[in-house]
Amino acid sequence: MPISPRAGQPAAPSDLVDVPRLVTAYFSEHPDPSVPEQLVAFGTSGHRGSSLRASFNDDHIAATTQAICDYRRGEGTDGPLFLARDTHALSEPAWVTALEVLAANEVTVLVDSRDGYTPTPALSHAVLAHNHAGGGRGTGTADGIVVTPSHNPPSDGGFKYNPPDGGPAGTEVTKAVQDRANALLAAGLRGVRRVPVARARAAATTGTYDFLDAYVSDLSSAIDMAAIASAGDRIGADPLGGASVAYWGAIGERYGLDLTVVNPEVDPTWRFMTLDWDEKIRMDCSSPYAMASLIRRRDEFALATGNDADADRHGIVTPDGLMNPNHFLAVAIEYLFAARAGWPAGAAVGKTLVSSSMIDRVAGGLGRRLLEVPVGFKWFVAGLLDGSVGFGGEESAGASFLRRDGSVWTTDKDGILLCLLASEILAVTGSSPSARYRALADRFGAPAYARVDAPATREEKAVLAALRPEDVTATELAGEPITAKLTTAPGNGAPIGGLKVVTASGWFAARPSGTEDVYKIYAESFQGPEHLARIQDEARDVVASALKGSSRAAT
């Protein structure tokens, strides 16, 4: 897709969302259950949409929350439900809707004791802390809801359920919740229990929890905070107007760090952001355009970091600039598996199959098992929970890892943790993460990596998601023999919802978009940019041929 000439430039008044209109539409607009785009639809990170498109409204959240109540009751989940929200304009009203339904269903709900914003990793941490030690709140298994569309534009809302394992809900859970929610929508919300917000807040089942203190005070169990403090490196942390805004100041103060919260402002229009590649305001801390303001200040700090709106993603800025997410994942893995003596000897390196093959080479150099899974952090949850996966990361700047003693920290992506790891790496080794990546590239080769989109109809996307290895008739890719044709992930055998084709020095993966009439082509080459371009060009031909062959076989 072409990059706008305005990318990286400050947002103009015309770019800003009309917040009153957005919130009014949340309550006044009602979805039509006969329109697929207006139904509840859980992707890899919950249900997302906009009130202006009738895809994220009061009806959706009431129905989805009731569906979660029904689901957890059926599963015997009888402990507290932790309820969190980020800084998007639609998060506050959706949080209220959820609380009204939860209270009416007599669910014990724990909300933030500071009435503040809560990062996704702090919610995961809270769920796991309760379920591991009872949380000091009696018996019962806890779960959670976080109201966030992650890095999405200001007009969007999001709603995500984390079951008792603390991580993103798996497909079997989200399908049950989604189907029940849509049935409630079709029934005109008959079956949804609800009380006014004043009653919900005053209910005996509604309590509070100090998410910030519980999370921040426990960080030294996962990160060498003493080493960071001792090094005295000047650190800049940019919450990008998101839920980590109060957390970074608390971290700096508690651990005595030379840390500056670069931008402590919260504004639901995000007027202080620079525009992303397509002129949208998007809190994507892996985008050089969204992170342009922080990048311009990189010389003020030994290390600067950014997080998206719910702080489940990380962006690492060194004096060299913004690191590619794949590059930092490789550096993090190389450092952690050498530095964490308390980790299980058999703990695997987890990656999604569209992450860089540099990770494969680093894992091999460490003598560690590689667990390659489909896109979605949910695939790492069980391994992080039982310690069989030491680190799980995905190409979109999301990752988490074990505590220093090898026990579970979070089972959802933790952008704050990864940003602090970058500071630990600098403090302990004396080298920046970008310098350490250059050393890895000298040792293993320097890959070129990119993602592009190609047009596809809804029918073509359905065929792509159901391809089989035998549908690929090509034997070579960009001048090299094809060594693997994958439609299931090597690490767990789960369907990848697309296709990955591998050679000795490159690969591509094609996956249908869940929201647009395109498919995504991820590609990488260890032979440089020109070879990468060949892989990308030939990938379109390979996919087109496979789609035709599969379509003919189906008829």
What is the C-alpha separation between 45 and 313, in angstroms, rounded? 13
Q: Looking at this protein, which amino acid is placed at residue 308?
A: D
Q: Which residues on adjacent β-strands are paired with residue 49?
A: 157
Closest CA to 509 of 539, 531, 470: 539
Strands 348-352 and 389-394: parallel
Instruction: Tell me how far apart the alpha carbons of residues 192 and 184 are, in angstroms, rounded to a whole number.
Output: 7
Q: State CA 295 to chain mean position distance.
A: 22
Note the helical H segments in 35-142: 58-75, 91-104, 120-133
The Cα–Cα gap between 152 and 284 comes to: 8
Query: Over the Cα atoms of the chain, what is R_g?
Result: 23
- Alpha carbon distance 346, 363 (integer Å): 12
* C-alpha closest to that of 311 among 256, 386, 381, 246: 246
Phi, psi of 77 (to 5 degrees): -80, 100
User: 160 forms bridges with which residues in the sheet?
Assistant: 146
Long-range CB contact pairs, 32-40, < 8 A, 24+: 33/182, 33/185, 33/186, 39/182, 39/185, 40/64, 40/177, 40/178, 40/181, 40/182, 40/185
What is the Cα–Cα distance from 176 to 358, expressed in whole angstroms?
A: 37
Q: Can you say whether the dihedral through the CA atoms of 262, 430, 335, 521 is positive or negative?
A: positive
Side chain identity, residue 192 = V
235-238 and 303-307 strand pairing: parallel
Q: Report the DSSP beta bridge partners of residue 42.
A: 47
- In angstroms, the CA 275 to CA 289 distance is 6
Active site residues: 150
- Of all helices (H) and strands (E), which one includes residue 358? helix 358-366
Q: Does residue 44 contact residue 36 with C-beta atoms inside 8 Å?
A: no
In the chain, the N- to C-terminal Cα span, in Å, equals: 33
- Cβ atoms of residues 47 and 169 within 8 Å: no
Q: Is 281 exposed, middle or buried (0-12, 13-18, 19+ CB in 10 A)?
A: buried
